[in-house]
């Protein structure tokens, strides 16, 4: 298939396929289920399943799976073949409605954070009919949500779907007050995915990349990103071939991969899809990450999704572009053309401002992980302090509302401010301030603190819920208003006065901002344990339980899983360091030292006066440094052996004791690298990795 439009969605059981393949009545009933979340009758499910199976078999599928997103951050699948034996000893291909809508699987090996007692190992997967089924690797994949026997969410998707429903309810309620009769509102997301590509041959020689996804050692190469010659640079043919195949694979699955370019660091790239409904965007992003790995491997490369694979060069993030759209096609974060559209825009904008200020800790928590800690606040990614960028124009509009002044748009037109006519907002002032974690970019918000390897589900669950909460508070006030416009004006003004502190249009990488933010009372949660120590605060528990996103038990389980993940990640890194230093670095350095020593001895055997300056000085330095590395190794082993306790306490120990010990060991090893012969150094260097794709 060379035609892109034919290729696009060719492996998706899409709306068009359903319309074509399902009896009219079945199709209409299924549409109702999809649009309004109605229960799907088993007879209908049987018809749908049968059509799906026939379609999948025609496309070469032999198996089906319920595809879900447990709390591991990656997706899970258990393949079952369609075959079903007949009495004559033959097989027929079968797939029932029951198998389509519900699956039962052993959940005991997925993280549950204590939610699922082991005697209750069963978990259920239930079809998310709003996300289309698709074929991947000859397998029909049914996107599903994953719950425990008791109905607790065991995955990333269930809370996301709950938060979308919640947002929908509150947004529709608020829009009614503006005389709108929209029947649904969906949040939309376009995640920009950053990644690195290196040659497989260098990857295979780095146990740290293999075990932990990042390099634990490596000195800065002579050339890094300082020449800024990679960003948007010409794409090398090998990478281009990879991108072309990746695009095609994405398109087959209906993922609208749109923009591919080189990023800031050498070997770093980005893919951005066209935005779509949030739960579908989440499914698509998981698939995109999986495809990146697979396609890279086919091209003899390795795709690194880790947030900070190389120290000293930029890490990778995933900008989460977020907005909300009505079923009538109105983007609620698009400044409108008329004053009333603008009033509506301003109220949604204010809901986001208030949400980000009220719940900045939750937003910070939603991007917290051991790997993202290495990136946030490193003057390449937004700081761990959550603030909002609105741009000068929007900020001065809000200021003028706050102060009750007239607002004059720079050179453009006179803005009318007043109770009846809220100002018209100029359209073309999107932001190019890249240092803000949460930026308004013309018709959407871009949350930039998310890490490259993370699922987008958690972040969007939080975003949807916190904004829904503010919409709810606004409706509670506005519904009771005698004079709607006056109350609306007051509400907007009040929000700006009370929550203006979250708006910061300056340089987020600047040290002065850290102090300024502290003065404003904005939290600065630098690490994952710091962030998670706030997760179970009453305010957050109240929010999630009142919106029925998470029960307390579900929150507690997520808290435990996140901390356990943090601890395990750092523990694996520390163990990997120990192994590499013991088995590779120190033995290699010792061989080099032996070489130097025998070179000195043989030179001296010719003449006592023979100069051995290089050999002697290098040997002395190597010897001293390898001793230091050895003691740091012993120290790390000791620190690790003392790791005790659980949950937050243990996570804090890893943060305060283990990570510093790892850093000290790394520093000595990186020094050794500077003076050890390349012939002896056992690991590919940063230069060899970052410039491994040569053509
Ligand atoms: P940038 O200038 O940051 O590179 P673009 O304008 O190309 O960004 O958009 C980046 C991402 O934002 C794309 O994935 C795009 O589809 C997405 N996006 C655009 N509009 C919306 C929207 N209304 N809701 C969610 N995402 C959106
Ligand atoms: Mg962007």
Contact call for residues 265 and 689 (beta carbons, < 8 A): no
CATH no. for residue 595? Answer: 1.20.120.1560
Spatial distance between the Cα atoms of 242 and 255, rounded to a whole number of angstroms: 16
**Residue 183 and residue 311 in one domain:** yes
**Residue 518 and residue 591 in one domain:** no
**Residue 197 and residue 293 in one domain:** yes
> Which of these, 92, 99, 83, lies nearest to 49 by C-alpha position?
99
Residues paired with residue 127 on neighbouring β-strands, in sequence order: 144
User: Is residue 417 in a domain?
Assistant: no
Total residue length of the chain: 695
| Nearest listed ligand to the Cα of residue 321 | 1
Which of helix, strand or coil describes residue 476? helix
Is any ligand 1 atom within 6 A of the Cβ of residue 443? yes
Closest residue by Cα to atom 11, ligand 1, is 190
Backbone CA torsion sign across 118, 119, 121, 126: negative
Question: pLDDT tens, 252-280?
Answer: 999 999 888 888 888 999 999 999 999 99
Residues paired with residue 140 on neighbouring β-strands, in sequence order: 64, 135
Q: Are strands 122-127 and 139-148 parallel, antiparallel or unpaired?
A: antiparallel
User: Is residue 150 in a domain?
Assistant: yes
What's the DSSP call for residue 644? -
Counting atoms of ligand 1 from 1, which one is nearest the CA of 322?
25
Spatial distance between the Cα atoms of 496 and 602, rounded to a whole number of angstroms: 79
β strands within 524-654, DSSP E: none
Spatial distance between the Cα atoms of 273 and 288, rounded to a whole number of angstroms: 10
Q: Which two tokens stand for residue 516?
A: 């300024």
Which of helix, strand or coil describes residue 39? coil
Q: Which of 550, 585, 609 is the last residue of a domain?
A: 550
Spans in the chain with pLDDT lower than 50: 118-119, 409-420
The alpha carbon of 284 and the centre of ligand 2 are apart by a number of angstroms equal to 18
- Spatial CB neighbours of 163, under 8 Å, sequence gap ≥ 6: 460, 461, 462, 464, 465, 468, 547, 549
- Spatial CB neighbours of 66, under 8 Å, sequence gap ≥ 6: 77, 78, 103, 105, 125, 127, 142, 144
Q: How far is CA 254 from the centre of its chain?
A: 20
The alpha carbon of 26 and the centre of ligand 1 are apart by a number of angstroms equal to 35
The alpha carbon of 192 and the centre of ligand 2 are apart by a number of angstroms equal to 7
- Spatial CB neighbours of 74, under 8 Å, sequence gap ≥ 6: 286
CATH no. for residue 531? Answer: 3.30.590.10
**Residue 174 and residue 150 in one domain:** no
Which residue shows structure tokens 């949040």? Answer: 187
The values of phi and psi at residue 214, to 5°, are: -140, 165
User: Is residue 424 in a domain?
Assistant: no
**Residue 602 and residue 546 in one domain:** no
Q: Which of 155, 174, 203 is the last residue of a domain?
A: 155
Which of helix, strand or coil describes residue 55? helix
The values of phi and psi at residue 197, to 5°, are: -125, 130
User: Is residue 556 in a domain?
Assistant: no
Which residue shows structure tokens 């993202």? Answer: 372
Contact call for residues 536 and 556 (beta carbons, < 8 A): yes
User: Is residue 343 in a domain?
Assistant: yes
Buried b (16+ CB within 10 A) or exposed e, 246-278: bbbbbbbbbbbbeebebbbbbbbbbbbbebbbb
DSSP tally for the chain: helices H, then strands E:
25, 17
| Nearest listed ligand to the Cα of residue 190 | 1
CATH no. for residue 128? Answer: 3.10.20.70
Q: Are strands 445-447 and 438-440 parallel, antiparallel or unpaired?
A: antiparallel
Q: How many domains does the chain have?
A: 3
| Nearest listed ligand to the Cα of residue 271 | 1
Is any ligand 1 atom within 6 A of the Cβ of residue 275? yes
Q: What is the pLDDT of residue 423?
A: 61
DSSP assignments along 92-133, one per residue: EE---HHHHHEEEEE-TTS--TTSS-GGG-EEEEEE-TTS--
**Residue 171 and residue 114 in one domain:** no
The alpha carbon of 436 and the centre of ligand 1 are apart by a number of angstroms equal to 16
Which residue shows structure tokens 């825009």? Answer: 345
Counting atoms of ligand 1 from 1, which one is nearest the CA of 334?
23
User: Is residue 422 in a domain?
Assistant: no
Q: Which two tokens stand for residue 539?
A: 């305010």
Q: Is the pTM of this model over 0.75?
A: yes
User: Is residue 299 in a domain?
Assistant: yes
| Nearest listed ligand to the Cα of residue 273 | 1
Spatial distance between the Cα atoms of 233 and 276, rounded to a whole number of angstroms: 28
Q: Which domain holds residue 472?
A: 164-410+429-550
Spatial distance between the Cα atoms of 168 and 128, rounded to a whole number of angstroms: 17
Is any ligand 1 atom within 6 A of the Cβ of residue 274? yes
CA distances from 526 to 316, 356, 472 (A): 18, 17, 31
Which residue shows structure tokens 């901390």? Answer: 563
Is any ligand 1 atom within 6 A of the Cβ of residue 667? no
Contact call for residues 300 and 203 (beta carbons, < 8 A): no
| Three-state DSSP string of 261-309 | EECCCCCEEEEEECCEEHHHHHHHHHHHHHHHHHHHHHCCEEEECCCCC
User: Ligand 1, residues 185, 271, 272, 319: which to mutate, most atoms within 8 A of Cβ?
Assistant: 272
Q: Which two tokens stand for residue 646?
A: 């659980």
> Which of these, 289, 281, 252, lies nearest to 12 by C-alpha position?
252
Closest residue by Cα to atom 13, ligand 1, is 190
Q: Are strands 318-326 and 185-199 parallel, antiparallel or unpaired?
A: antiparallel
Which of helix, strand or coil describes residue 318? strand
Is any ligand 1 atom within 6 A of the Cβ of residue 272? yes
Spatial distance between the Cα atoms of 452 and 193, rounded to a whole number of angstroms: 6
Burial of 161 (0-12, 13-18, 19+ CB in 10 A): buried
Spatial distance between the Cα atoms of 590 and 619, rounded to a whole number of angstroms: 10
**Residue 11 and residue 49 in one domain:** yes
Burial of 367 (0-12, 13-18, 19+ CB in 10 A): buried
> Which of these, 525, 504, 500, lies nearest to 513 by C-alpha position?
504
The alpha carbon of 319 and the centre of ligand 1 are apart by a number of angstroms equal to 9
Residues paired with residue 63 on neighbouring β-strands, in sequence order: 81, 139
Spatial distance between the Cα atoms of 151 and 295, rounded to a whole number of angstroms: 37
Question: pLDDT tens, 187-235?
Answer: 999 999 999 999 999 999 999 999 999 999 999 888 777 776 777 778 8
**Residue 527 and residue 576 in one domain:** no
Contact call for residues 499 and 353 (beta carbons, < 8 A): yes
**Residue 257 and residue 147 in one domain:** no
Where helices occur in 118-264 by DSSP H, the ranges are 157-176, 200-203, 207-212, 237-252
The alpha carbon of 321 and the centre of ligand 1 are apart by a number of angstroms equal to 6
User: Is residue 561 in a domain?
Assistant: no
Is any ligand 1 atom within 6 A of the Cβ of residue 53? no
β strands within 20-119, DSSP E: 63-67, 80-81, 83-85, 91-93, 102-106
Contact call for residues 98 and 42 (beta carbons, < 8 A): yes
Burial of 209 (0-12, 13-18, 19+ CB in 10 A): buried
Q: Is 259 left (phi over 0), alpha (psi -120 to 50) or beta?
A: beta
CA distances from 71 to 1, 146, 147, 279, 341 (A): 37, 10, 11, 16, 40
The alpha carbon of 437 and the centre of ligand 1 are apart by a number of angstroms equal to 15
**Residue 320 and residue 363 in one domain:** yes
The alpha carbon of 533 and the centre of ligand 2 are apart by a number of angstroms equal to 30
**Residue 570 and residue 681 in one domain:** yes
User: Ligand 1, residues 264, 444, 448: which to mutate, most atoms within 8 A of Cβ?
Assistant: 444
Q: Which of 108, 136, 155 is the last residue of a domain?
A: 155
Is any ligand 1 atom within 6 A of the Cβ of residue 192? yes
**Residue 173 and residue 138 in one domain:** no
Q: Are strands 139-148 and 63-67 parallel, antiparallel or unpaired?
A: parallel
Counting atoms of ligand 1 from 1, which one is nearest the CA of 323?
24
- Measure CA of the first residue to CA of the last residue in the chain; give whole Å: 28
Is any ligand 1 atom within 6 A of the Cβ of residue 591? no
């Amino acid at each position: 298939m060379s035609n892109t439009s034919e290729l696009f969605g060719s492996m998706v059981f899409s709306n068009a396929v359903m319309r074509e393949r399902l009896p009219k009545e079945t199709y209409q009933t299924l549409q109702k289920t999809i649009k309004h979340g109605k229960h799907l009758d088993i007879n209908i499910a049987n018809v749908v399943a049968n059509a799906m199976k026939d379609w999948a078999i025609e496309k070469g599928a032999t198996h089906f799976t319920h595809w879900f997103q447990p709390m591991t951050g990656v997706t899970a699948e258990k393949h079952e073949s369609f075959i079903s034996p007949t009495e004559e000893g033959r097989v027929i291909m079968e797939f029932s409605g029951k198998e389509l809508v519900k699956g039962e699987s052993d959940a005991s090996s997925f993280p549950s954070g204590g939610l699922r007692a082991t005697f209750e190992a069963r978990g259920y997967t239930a079809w998310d009919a709003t996300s289309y089924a698709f074929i991947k690797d000859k397998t029909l994949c049914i996107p599903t949500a994953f719950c425990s026997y008791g109905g607790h969410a065991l995955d990333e998707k269930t809370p996301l779907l709950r938060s979308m429903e919640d947002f929908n309810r509150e947004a529709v309620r608020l829009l009614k007050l503006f005389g709108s009769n929209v029947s649904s509102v969906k949040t939309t997301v376009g995640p920009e995915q950053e990644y690195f590509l290196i040659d497989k041959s260098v990857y295979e020689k780095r146990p740290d990349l293999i075990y932990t996804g990042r390099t634990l050692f490596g000195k800065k190469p002579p050339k890094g990103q300082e020449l800024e010659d990679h960003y948007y640079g010409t794409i090398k043919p090998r990478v281009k071939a990879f991108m072309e195949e990746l695009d095609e694979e994405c398109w087959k699955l209906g993922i609208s991969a749109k923009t591919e370019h080189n990023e800031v660091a050498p070997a770093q790239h980005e893919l951005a899809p066209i935005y779509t409904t949030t739960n579908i965007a989440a499914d698509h992003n998981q698939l995109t990450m999986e495809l990146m790995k697979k396609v890279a491997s086919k091209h003899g490369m390795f795709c690194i999704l880790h947030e900070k694979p190389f120290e000293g060069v930029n890490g990778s993030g995933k900008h989460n572009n977020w907005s909300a759209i009505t079923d009538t096609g109105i983007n609620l974060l698009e400044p409108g053309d008329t004053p009333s559209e603008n009033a509506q825009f301003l109220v949604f904008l204010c809901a986001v401002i208030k949400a980000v200020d009220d719940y900045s800790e939750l937003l910070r928590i939603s991007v917290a992980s051991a790997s993202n800690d290495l990136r946030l606040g490193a003057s390449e990614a937004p700081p761990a302090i959550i603030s909002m960028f609105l741009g000068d124009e929007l900020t001065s509009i809000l200021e003028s509302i706050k102060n009750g002044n007239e607002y004059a748009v720079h050179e453009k037109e006179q803005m009318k401010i007043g109770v009846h006519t809220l100002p018209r907002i100029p359209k073309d002032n999107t932001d190019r301030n890249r240092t803000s974690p949460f930026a308004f970019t013309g018709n959407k918000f871009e949350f930039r603190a998310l890490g490259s390897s993370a699922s987008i589900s958690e972040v969007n669950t939080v975003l949807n819920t916190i904004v829904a909460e503010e919409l709810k508070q606004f409706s509670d006030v506005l519904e009771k208003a005698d004079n709607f416009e006056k109350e609306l004006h007051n509400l907007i003004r009040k929000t700006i006065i009370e929550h203006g502190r979250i708006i910061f249009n300056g340089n987020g990488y600047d040290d002065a901002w850290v102090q300024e933010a502290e003065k404003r009372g904005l939290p600065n949660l630098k690490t994952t344990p710091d962030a998670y120590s706030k997760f179970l605060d009453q305010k957050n528990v109240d929010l999630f339980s009142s919106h029925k996103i998470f029960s307390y038990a579900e929150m507690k389980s997520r808290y435990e899983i996140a901390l356990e993940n943090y601890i395990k990640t750092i523990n694996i890194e520390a163990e990997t360091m120990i192994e590499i230093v013991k088995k590779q670095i120190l033995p290699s350095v010792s061989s080099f030292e032996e070489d130097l020593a025998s070179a000195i001895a043989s030179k001296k055997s010719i003449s006592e006066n023979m100069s051995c300056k290089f050999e002697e000085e290098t040997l002395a330095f190597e010897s001293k440094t390898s001793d230091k590395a050895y003691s740091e190794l012993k120290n790390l082993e000791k620190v690790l052996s003392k790791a005790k306790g659980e949950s937050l306490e243990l996570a804090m120990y890893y943060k305060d004791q283990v990570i510093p010990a790892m850093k000290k060991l790394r520093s000595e090893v990186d020094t050794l690298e500077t003076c050890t012969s390349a012939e002896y150094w056992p690991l590919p260097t940063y230069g060899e990795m970052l410039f491994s794709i040569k053509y």
